[in-house]
A and B are shown apart, each in its own frame.
Chain A
Amino acid sequence: MNARRSLAERLVLGAPWLWLIVFFLIPFAIVVKISLSEAALAQPPYTPVFDLSDGWEALNRLGDLSLSAYAGLADDWLYAQAYWSSLRLAFISTLFTLAVAYPLAYAMARAPLHLRPILVVLAVAPFWTSFLIRVYAWITILKDEGLLNHTLLSLGLISEPLHIFASDTAVVIGIVYSYLPFMVLPLYNAIARQPPELIEAAADLGASPLAAFWRVTVPLSASGVLAGCLLVFIPAIGEFVIPDLLGGSDTLMIGRTLWVEFFDNRDWPAASAVAVVLLGLLLVPMALYERSQMAEAEA
């Protein structure tokens, strides 16, 4: 490999780093800094405020930073509950998404070759409509006098409307529906790339179709399962719109807590601290994912 790269090469290689620094690292540093400040009735609503015009003087005021916002997080049970509840709902939603997505992806991957591109387009077709509108639509389906209850009642399957709307169940349904394509696509990819003769080899060696599925198809799609689960789980933890629209007043999710801190309480340091801790929580599954990707790349 040539040690001296051309300028063009360096620019291309540097682009993702530049992107990460400008749009992730610097904003995140600002959020961390705000989380170490204290709330104030001012504009911006926290103190101390560092101004670039202060120059090096600002360094002298680093001592004014405090961990009080984090202490507040630790003091109030509500936050821990919100994190726990977010993780729980995200986990349950991920499992259901996987359960719905696997058969879908399997059917897509085993469909005739010329149909597959159409099926992939259909799988992502919901993205062509606004996410907000799609979640709103679920209100009219799930509410007590909604489409679902109406159908079940008229079929005589239930005698009382089911109270699904404004509950954790509704949130899980909303997440499963909204994030399904993120699960289907990596699964589809992981199943479709398996050579079909592996299943034939398994059958030839005495495996029934079910045994071949469990011993060959499933383990070989593990990377897709993991990728799909993380693509659903990570954004689901911080989900705000779905719990806000479909959840009940008792549905506690960290995305909502953030909103309340920022816009209702105007407590930016507390909200920032919530966000920083959330990121910390998300780093664990992301690191796991990264490790599995590395392992796969080596294999």
Chain B
Amino acid sequence: MSRAPLIVFENVTKRYGAVTAVDDVSFEIGAGEFFALLGPSGCGKTTLMRLIAGFETPDSGRILIDGQDMAHMPPHARPVNMMFQSYALFPHMNVARNIGFGLVQAGLPKVMIEARVRELLRLVQLDGLGARRPDQLSGGQRQRVALARALARKPRLVLLDEPLAALDRKLREETQFELMRLQRELGTAFMLVTHDQDEAMVMAERIGVMQAGRIVQAGSPRAIYEEPATRFVAGFIGEANFFEGVIERVEGGRCFVRLNGSGALAQALFVGAPSASVTLVVRPERMLLELMHDESAANLTGVVLDSAYRGDREVAQVRLADGSMVRVARFAAEAAMLPERGAQVRLSFAPEAAWVLPA
């Protein structure tokens, strides 16, 4: 990361009773970066966000914003603003007063507040709706008001707590690009908290994957997908097939792995110690599948259990001879269709398609 860090977490831990919600987390968010915190519910991502906003205080460790320790900084004094999952719009105020709330609090003169509110209304495409009350707006409009309110004070970092969760699918996709455009134009750092991997992959420059209170991997969407640090990351981001085995030998920059169960010999671009146990991760779209003609040549043989046409791609589930399941995907634009249910097939994958994890 070339940019100066805006947010720095140093060994931050937060416990609730016996539960450790955030466990010795260290990471950084750069100025102007679009960062996504991704994890299943209960992984601690909401707590981590609330630590930045100041609604929770760490039990140990430090949080720095712009190099300043936030230890004794109450939420109202922090240069971050949050867009709540429920939007938390003030029901007794109209749209303009909701957006202007933080500006009034900052003591700006009335004329400036009005001008800034007009500017924000235009930015989120709600011109002319300033006099409406929140309960007179649609879900998508409320979401925009919440966003405008969080941007009003020109914070260094905007926290987005599951910002799209309440929107329907079509609106969600539109809003994703809308948020990316806004983030680029404003140059403000955004931190998106979500359990939706697509959302994180589409919008973020960098993703931090959280599991059980820890950030298990942080990196670009590509790095996280192609080079997952753990089995959990591989399974949580996209779909993955796991093949466990033991390295038999290493030769010319690749290792030969004897797979457990099937006993097939697979190759991977990896140099590891012979006789080490490893897990090979292969994405469904990188599985090669062909109808079985010559049984003696088979690596992994199996039966197609299900196949489904999904428009942009086809997916199939194959049960291997040893009973394990493998998912195979093919882009629909590719000529060959996946075999039908019940077909005997042979599966394989190229050495460069396998990502190796220690078992």
Q: A200-B55, A207-B105 are in contact. Are A220 and B76 (CB under 8 A)?
A: no
Which of the segments A18-26, A112-120, A208-216 contacts the partner chain? A208-216
- B133 and A201 contacting across the interface, CB-CB below 8 Å: no
User: Are A200 and B86 in contact (CB-based, < 8 A)?
Assistant: no
- With a CB–CB cut-off of 8 A, which chain B residues contact A197? 84, 86, 88
Tell me the complex Cα distance, A203–B135, Å.
22
A198 touching B90 in the complex, CB below 8 Å, given contacts A204-B53, A205-B101: yes
CB <8 Å contact, A205 and B102: yes
Q: How many residues of B contact A (CB 8 A)?
A: 27
- Is A219 among interface residues, defined by CB-CB distance under 8 A? yes
Candidate in A198, A204, A206 with the most chain B CB atoms within 10 angstroms: A204
Whether A220 lies near B149 (C-beta < 8 A) is: no
Q: B105 touching A211 by the CB < 8 A rule?
A: yes
- Once A200-B84, A299-B135 are accepted as A-B contacts, the answer to whether A206 and B102 lie under 8 Å apart by CB is yes
Chain A residue at smallest Cβ distance from B75: A203
Interfacial chain A residues near B170, Cβ < 8 Å: none
- Interface membership of chain A positions 219-230, coded 1 if the CB is closer than 8 angstroms to chain B and 0 otherwise: 110100000000
Closest to B146 in A: A201
Is A203 a contact partner of B92 (Cβ separation < 8 A)?
Answer: no
Contacts of B91 in A (CB 8 A): 220
A206 touches B55 (CB 8 A): no
Contacts of B55 in A (CB 8 A): 200, 203
CA distance in complex: A205, B107 (Å): 12
* Chain A proximity of B198: nearest CB distance (Å): 26
B97 — nearest CB in chain A belongs to which residue? Answer: A215
Distance to closest chain B CB from A297 (angstroms): 13
Establish whether residues A207 and B86, one from each chain, have CB atoms under 8 Å apart when the complex forms: no
A206-B153 contact given A195-B86, A200-B55, CB 8 Å threshold = yes
Classify the secondary structure of A's interface with B. Answer: helix
Residues in B with CB closer than 8 Å to A201 are 82, 84, 88-90, 149
Interface presence of A202 (CB below 8 A): yes
Q: Which of B75, B89, B92 contacts A204 (CB 8 A)?
A: B75
For the complex, count residues of A whose C-beta is within 8 A of B: 19
Which of chain B's residues have a CB closer than 8 A to the CB of A200?
53, 55, 75, 82, 84, 88
Kindly provide the distance from the CB of B150 to the nearest chain A CB, expressed in whole angstroms: 8
Chain B residue numbers with a CB within 8 Å of A215 are 101
Contact B105 A205 (CB under 8 A): yes
Q: Which residues of B contact A205 (CB under 8 A)?
A: 76, 81, 101-102, 105, 149, 152-153
> In the complex, are the beta carbons of A202 and B101 less than 8 A apart?
yes
Q: Contacts of A204 on B, CB cut-off 8 Å? A: 53, 75-76, 80-82, 150
B158-178 interface bits toward A, Cβ cutoff 8 Å, 1 = contact, 0 = none: 000000000000000000000
On chain B, the residues within 8 Å of A220 by CB distance are 90-92
Contact B76 A208 (CB under 8 A): yes
Interface hub of A205, A211, A215, A216 (most chain B Cβ within 10 A): A205
**B106 interface residue, CB < 8 Å from A?**
yes
Query: Scoring B residues 47 to 90 as 1 if CB is less than 8 Å from chain A, else 0, what string do you get?
Result: 00000011100000000000000000011110011101010111
Shortest distance from the beta carbon of A238 to any chain B beta carbon, whole Å: 33
B residues near A219, Cβ cutoff 8 Å: 92
Q: A200-B75, A201-B84, A215-B101 are in contact. Are A206 and B90 (CB under 8 A)?
A: no
Residues of chain B within 8 A of A299, CB atoms compared: 133, 135
A201 and B159 CA atoms in complex are apart in Å by 12
- Residues of B contacting A216 with CB < 8 Å? 90
Given contacts A204-B53, A206-B77, list 5 more A-B pairs with CB under 8 A.
A200-B82, A200-B84, A202-B90, A204-B81, A211-B76
List chain A positions with a Cβ less than 8 A from chain B.
Answer: 195, 197-198, 200-208, 211, 215-216, 219-220, 222, 299
- Could you pull out 11 A-B pairs where Cβ atoms are within 8 angstroms? A195-B86, A195-B88, A197-B84, A197-B86, A198-B90, A200-B53, A200-B55, A203-B75, A204-B150, A205-B101, A299-B135
